[in-house]
Amino acid sequence: MITIVPAYGADITNGEELVAAMHKKYAGKWYKTLTFVQKNTIYKPDGTTENSLWFEAMSAPGRLRVDFDPLTKGDGMMFADGQQHIFKDGKLANTRPMVHPLMAPGFDVYTQPAAATVRQLNELKFDLTTLHEDTWNGQPVYVVGAKAGDLKTNQFWVNKKTMLFVRMLQTVGKNKDQVQETQFNKYRKFKGGWVAEEVVFLIDGKKNFVEEYSDTQANVTLAPDLFDTGKWMTTDRKYYIKK
C-alpha cells in the first residue's frame, strides 16, 4: 500500500499519513548519531528520590547503547536489530525481542522509511487509523491511537508545527491496568534535528522517573564495533568521557 503524504498545511487524517509527514519534514537533515550523559531521578513511593548516571550513544535508526556508571563495572543495555540486550558485569546476561517504544516515534521516524516506522508502531499496538487533534503545553498536536477524551488507550502525541513527538500513553502492569505517560520536554536543536533533553515518566499521573541529558553531541563518529554485543567491554567509548 502506498502512503500519500499530505502537502504541508493539509489535513492529516490518520497515523500513517502523520508518520509520512514527520519523515518528510526532516528527511536528509536529521542527525544520524548522538551521544549524551543521562542523569536519572527515581521518585519512590515514600517521597524520597534516588539518582544514577548513564552514558548513551545512538545510531539512527534502531541502535542505542546505554552504559551504566561506573563504566568499569560493565553493566548496561543495548537496543539493536529489534532486540534488547542486557549486560551484567561486562557479560551478556539476556536478550529478547523488543521494539523501543520511544526511539520509533522520537528518533527513527526521521531517518528511516515511513513504512518501517508504521510497522514498529503497529507492533507496539497503536491504532494508526484513529487520530484527533488536541493541545499540549499550549501548542496544537495530533494524537494517534485514541479518540478525544480517552487518556487510557495506547496513543502518541506529535506537535503539529514542528512534527516532533511530545507525549505517549501506554497501558502497563501485569493486568494492563496502569497508564504510563512519557513526555519529551525541553527540546533543543542539534545538527538539523532536535533532542528533548528532559524525558519524564509518570504512572497513573504520578512522577516515577526523570531523565536529564547533558554533554549532548550530534553526528559524532562512533566506534564501528560499538553495537557489537561480543565487544561490549573492548570497544572504544572515549566519547563518554567529558573533555
Residues spanned by the domain of 183: 15-240
Question: Is residue 7 in a domain?
Answer: no
- Check pLDDT > 90 for residue 1: no
Answer whether 204's CB lies under 8 Å from 41's CB.
Answer: no
Amino acid sitting at position 198: E
- Spatial contact of 237 and 78, defined as CB atoms under 8 Å apart: no
Cis-peptide, bond into residue 70, ω within 30° of zero: yes
Distance of CA 163 to the CA centre of its chain: 15
**Mean pLDDT confidence for 207-224:** 95
Residue 63 lies in a domain: yes
Query: How far apart, in whole angstroms, are the C-alpha atoms of residue 218 and residue 191?
Result: 6
**Residues 143-202: tens digit of each pLDDT:** 999 999 999 999 999 999 999 999 999 999 888 889 999 999 999 999 999 999 999 999
Domain for residue 9, yes or no? no
Residue 4 has pLDDT above 50, yes or no: no
Q: How many residues does the chain have?
A: 243
Query: Taking 90 as the threshold, does the pLDDT of residue 9 lie above it?
Result: no
Q: Each residue of 92-137: pLDDT tens digit?
A: 999 999 999 999 999 999 999 999 999 999 999 999 999 999 999 9
**C-alpha to C-alpha distance for 53 and 56, rounded to whole angstroms:** 10
Model confidence pLDDT, tens digit, residues 54-107: 999 999 999 999 999 999 999 999 999 999 999 999 999 999 999 999 999 999
Distance CA 203, CA 45 (A): 11
Residue 72 covered by a domain: yes
Tell me whether residue 5 is in a domain.
no
Number of domains in the chain: 1
Q: Is residue 3 part of a domain?
A: no
| Residue 92 forms part of a structural domain | yes
* Cα 189 versus chain centre, distance: 16
| Predicted local distance difference test score (pLDDT) of residue 77 | 98
Give the pLDDT confidence score for residue 242 in this predicted structure. 56
**Residue 241 pLDDT grade (very low, low, confident, very high; cuts 50, 70, 90):** low
Is the model's pLDDT at 38 over the cut of 80? yes
pLDDT for 54: 97
The 8-class DSSP code of residue 110 comes to G
- CATH number of domain containing 133: 2.50.20.10
Average pLDDT of span 206-214 = 97
Task: Evaluate whether residue 182 is within a structural domain.
Answer: yes
CA distance 207 to 198: 13
- The pLDDT score that the predictor gives to residue 7 is 44
pLDDT confidence of residue 10: 61
The residue among 32, 25, 2, 1 whose CA lies nearest residue 190 is 32
pTM, entire model: 0.93
